[in-house]
Chains A and B, each alone.
Chain A
Amino acid sequence: MARLNANNLTVAQDILSRYPVPRSALIPLLHLAQEQDGYVAEDAMAHIAELVGVTPAEVMGTCSFYEMLKREPVGDYMVNICNGISCHLLGSSELIHHAEATLGVRPGGTTDDGKITLEAVECIAACTEAPCLQINYRYRNQVTTEDFDQLVEDLRDGTAGVAPHGQLAKVRQHIGDDRRAGVSPPDGQGEPAWMARNPSDNGDGS
């Protein structure tokens, strides 16, 4: 889809200002792009590259490392059913089969209405609650097939109380000007060498 829109560009500037070196903002900006479009579009990667001063190939290198940064459109809700050992022993395979049958997609696929993307994942570290799953990375524990059907219904109705894919939190982090992190050099010393080196081009032709 797209580059960051005007609103998100403002947010991006705010995020950038939290870091002494722009490229440190790369991953937060990838999240922002995913929040905007539900996935990280190529145009967005190119835009982020411009913002943090690296090449698009470097953004791709980082982005493609993270499974949770999607580079293709996905449904509004990622349903990740755990297929780790504990969950498997407690019936997650049946749950996955059930999901495949009721949603009509294989793991990795998205339902025709664009609502749900199904994934089978490795242990999500909630073994005591097996079998479990995540919707947009929010846990549902000890899920039965009935629970699952209800969940799908709620997701389609929009009553499940889960934010669409990409949104990390309900409240956006904001850091007041007076509390910006930034790195201040230790007393009596200049900037650390790694900051002073490679000053980025200020781009105004001066």
Chain B
Amino acid sequence: MSEQETVVNITVNGQPVEAQPGEWVIAAAERAGVYIPHFCYHPRMNSVGMCRMCIVDIDTGRGPALQPSCMVAVTEGMVVDTTSDQTRKAQDGVLEFLLLNHPLDCPVCDKGGECPLQDQTMAYGPGESRFVEEKRHFEKPIPVNDLVYLDRERCILCDRCTRFADEVAGDPLITFQDRGDQTQVNTFPDLPFSSYFSGNTVQICPVGALTAVPYRFKARPWDLTEVESTYPNPMGDRVVVQASRDQVLRYQGVDSDAVNWGWLTDKDRFSFEAAASDLRLQTPLLRGTPLGRPDPGGSELVETTWRQALSQAADAIKGAIACNGPQSVAVLGGARLTNEDQYVWARLAKGVIGTDNVDAQLDDGLPADAVLGLPRATINRACTPGGTVILLAPDPKEEQGTLYLRLRHAVVNDGVQLIEITPRSTGLSHLAAHRLHHRPGEAAAVATALVGGDIDPGPDGDIGGAPAADVAAAATALADRADQPITVILGRPSLAESADFTLDAAAELARFANLLNAGGRPGIAFLPALHRGNVLGALDMGLAPGLLPGRTTLADGGSALAESWGSVPSAPGQDARGILKAAAEGRIDVLILLGADPLGDYPNAEQAEEALNRVGTIIASDLFLNPSAARAHIVFPAAGFAERRGTHTNLEGRITSQRQIITPPGTARADWAIATELARQLGADFGFGSPEDVWEEIARVAPSHRNLSSQAIEAADDGVVVADSSIEFAPPDAPTSAPHIDAYSLRLVSARRMYDRGTLVQHAGSLAGLAPTAVLSVNPYDFDRVGVEPGTDVQVISHVGEMDMPVVADPGVPRGTAAFGYNYPDLDVRDLVDPEAAVTDLRIQTR
């Protein structure tokens, strides 16, 4: 390509500027440091030219003329003047018009102080208005949903919120209505803007028309202090945390090119309410008598000192090691923690106590080797124009909201072809080029056929439940674009079936990856879609059986690490399933829960119950007294997000920093400090005085993170992606096959919904009510066959349990399948699922 095609030379205010072809004038000027005032233009959405604030003098050879710089693309030789008298006059005029109907209620408006309209009126606008007539009036704020209020009088009709709803979120539930002199943003009557992403409209509204219920009237912008940080979800969304008087009041998304583009889900955005909940743990607790006296046999949890809690914990651990060896101590959880916290707990468990019975996942994700042992993709790679994304994961819209937004954008705007291998439709299905919705447990057959393997279609002409012709079409489409990057989003699509099915399917794709990647093409890479906070950090830091910090195994990295740690466990330990089984059999004496709630989250609720009953000493480090922590003997109050510093690892392996802005409640401490202190009581001095000390050690001993300094992480805009891994993916030896299903049953799919019964949602006042109540979803064509009516209450029976619930028709559920959320607040699917069985079949009958 010649120089001319890659660079467009323009002049902005007399300075030569190199612009990119097709770039809007406003964007090119901005890159060159010239700010053009605007309201409707947003770099992550299409230009619409609604507000006219951005008009400037643009001369394309025919003399200067006022043109909206957000709608005019740069051309060679263009001369732009943003300071001419004519521009000034136009800006003044536009502002006067915008203010005609805008109420001057800034003193009582939440946006006052950070309002672009206010700022630009000060900077570019007229001092006073010539408008003496009556302004437009609307009912003052109306709710557009449970979280967002709309004051239509303040709205300047910039189309940002409505464009966001349509273009970005794909939920066009707010639109311009009554266009004309009454134009207003509104919902359909009684149909709220029920989007998981509605809070973003509040952030991008350039005036105070949209306000968020959790923040309304809580603070003035000039009273807020802020730090940039990373939200602890698997995406590692970049956020600004704003606080006032030692209380977090707001999260705002930060436009990180590589990650979240400025967006957040409502669940994450408003979760700060939970952190400030009165129910937060403030002091260490011990078993004691109802009179508040510590007593190991007591029935209550009573307040105690750190010294006492730590020494009792240390005694329990020492006792267990002395009686039954280090294997009788186990650690569950840790996804809530920072990398540093995780590292210190890992070192305590594996290097000091000497147990490898450590697992950050509760048997609801994928084994560490599937996450760390496959070529890793980045989000940007998945979104490469022209590439292919294979979704072998739960619905990203429900579990990784901002990933859904990125993928949606890539499919809609950048021609990424999406192939779904999922057991039911997802939030992306209507955009997918190929929807291969298979029967639960039969993903591997579809994956095999997709990558060209020979699979005989069943008697109904289907492969694993997906029409053979569709699979063939997808295979052709995949092969056609094999010279473009292919990214597999890999997660656990259903918790009602064994993870092995997903691993078998992943193994097929990995085999294909080996073939393809050898040919010098971009090939296939995997993006692990796990669910919990910093679970990817936990795996990197070795909080999994057989693993050590730095993506290495006991066998490979053990001896090297033993030099700094003193010792490492000699043989791999148990995962969560093994740990809880051993505990239920009385073989675990001390169980350490790092923010884990097996009673609430572990797929086998019964076994979790038995386990907690039999363990001698349960030690919990948590923010809340969740059902499992409430059963603990020793409870450490932990510092949460924004209450401590550290780093976070996202699903790409991207490490970014988290910063502190408020103090933890009561005497709560960061987990790295708790673990360091506990180690000291056990006779090991780690010498850590700060998270930076911990990181320094990580960068010294963790092979994949070697020489990665805190400074390098701080300095990089989007953090640092760690790509190295010496782990090998070890798929199950023999493929698992799903048993035959009888004609009267439906096979269960169970995945998480965004708003759930989890601690975070339930402790955030604004979110708690949003969790849906339980329903069973069945394909409309299946009702006749199973003999029930849609919309009625039915009895659902599996071979382990039964429950009553309403059944609804949902065309997104394939025939022969029934879908039920994993984490409804009211009904617990675990009462129906046999965790030992490969799949779960249900029968439904009228009550």
- A residues with CB within 8 A of B: 42, 45-46, 54-61, 64-65, 197-201, 203-206
Q: With A and B bound together, what is the CA distance between A155 and B171 in angstroms?
A: 46
> Does B716 have its Cβ within 8 Å of any Cβ on chain A?
no
Q: With A and B bound together, what is the CA distance between A99 and B189 in angstroms?
A: 34
Cβ contacts under 8 Å, A203 to chain B: 811
- Please state if A200 and B430 are interface contacts (CB–CB under 8 Å): yes
Smallest Cβ-Cβ distance to B470: which chain A residue: A206
CB distance from A78 to the nearest CB of B (A): 19
User: Can you list the 7 inter-chain pairs with the closest CB atoms, starting with the nearest?
Assistant: A61-B175, A56-B188, A201-B430, A57-B188, A203-B811, A64-B177, A65-B179
Q: 10 A-B Cβ contacts within 8 A?
A: A46-B191, A57-B174, A59-B188, A60-B175, A61-B177, A65-B180, A198-B412, A201-B429, A203-B811, A205-B815
The proximity string for B residues 804-847 relative to A, scoring 1 for CB distances below 8 Å and 0 otherwise, is: 00000001111100000000000000000000000000000000
Count of chain B residues with a beta carbon within 8 Å of a chain A beta carbon: 33
Cβ contacts under 8 Å, B425 to chain A: 201, 205
> Does B644 have its Cβ within 8 Å of any Cβ on chain A?
no
Cβ contacts under 8 Å, A206 to chain B: 435, 437, 466-467, 470, 814
> Does B187 have its Cβ within 8 Å of any Cβ on chain A?
yes
A61-B176, A204-B811, A205-B779 known; A55 vs B188 contact (CB < 8 Å): yes
Cβ contacts under 8 Å, A201 to chain B: 425, 429-430, 811-812
- Please state if B811 and A205 are interface contacts (CB–CB under 8 Å): yes
> Does B178 have its Cβ within 8 Å of any Cβ on chain A?
yes
Q: With contacts defined as CB atoms under 8 Å apart, how many contacts are there between chain A and chain B in the complex?
A: 70
Tell me which of B180, B188, B435, B779 has the highest count of chain A C-beta atoms within 10 A of its own C-beta.
B188
Cβ contacts under 8 Å, A56 to chain B: 188, 191
- B residues with CB within 8 A of A: 171-180, 186-189, 191, 412, 425, 429-431, 433, 435, 437, 466-467, 470, 779, 781, 811-815
CB distance from B546 to the nearest CB of A (A): 40
Q: Which of A60, A197, A205 is the one whose CB lies under 8 Å from B188?
A: A60
Smallest Cβ-Cβ distance to B433: which chain A residue: A199
CB distance from A22 to the nearest CB of B (A): 13
Smallest Cβ-Cβ distance to B184: which chain A residue: A64
Q: With A and B bound together, what is the CA distance between A54 and B430 in angstroms?
A: 12
Q: With A and B bound together, what is the CA distance between A47 and B429 in angstroms?
A: 22
Smallest Cβ-Cβ distance to A193: which chain B residue: B415
Cβ contacts under 8 Å, A57 to chain B: 172-175, 186-188, 191
A60-B177, A205-B813 known; A42 vs B189 contact (CB < 8 Å): yes
Smallest Cβ-Cβ distance to B814: which chain A residue: A205
- Please state if B178 and A64 are interface contacts (CB–CB under 8 Å): yes
Cβ contacts under 8 Å, A59 to chain B: 188
Q: With A and B bound together, what is the CA distance between A9 and B437 in angstroms?
A: 31
CB distance from A60 to the nearest CB of B (A): 5
- Please state if B176 and A205 are interface contacts (CB–CB under 8 Å): no
- Please state if A45 and B188 are interface contacts (CB–CB under 8 Å): yes
Smallest Cβ-Cβ distance to A201: which chain B residue: B430
CB distance from A39 to the nearest CB of B (A): 15
CB distance from B191 to the nearest CB of A (A): 6
Cβ contacts under 8 Å, A64 to chain B: 177-179
- Please state if A205 and B437 are interface contacts (CB–CB under 8 Å): yes
Q: With A and B bound together, what is the CA distance between A65 and B180 in angstroms?
A: 7
CB distance from A201 to the nearest CB of B (A): 4
- Please state if B812 and A58 are interface contacts (CB–CB under 8 Å): no
Cβ contacts under 8 Å, B171 to chain A: 55
Smallest Cβ-Cβ distance to A45: which chain B residue: B188
Cβ contacts under 8 Å, A199 to chain B: 430, 433
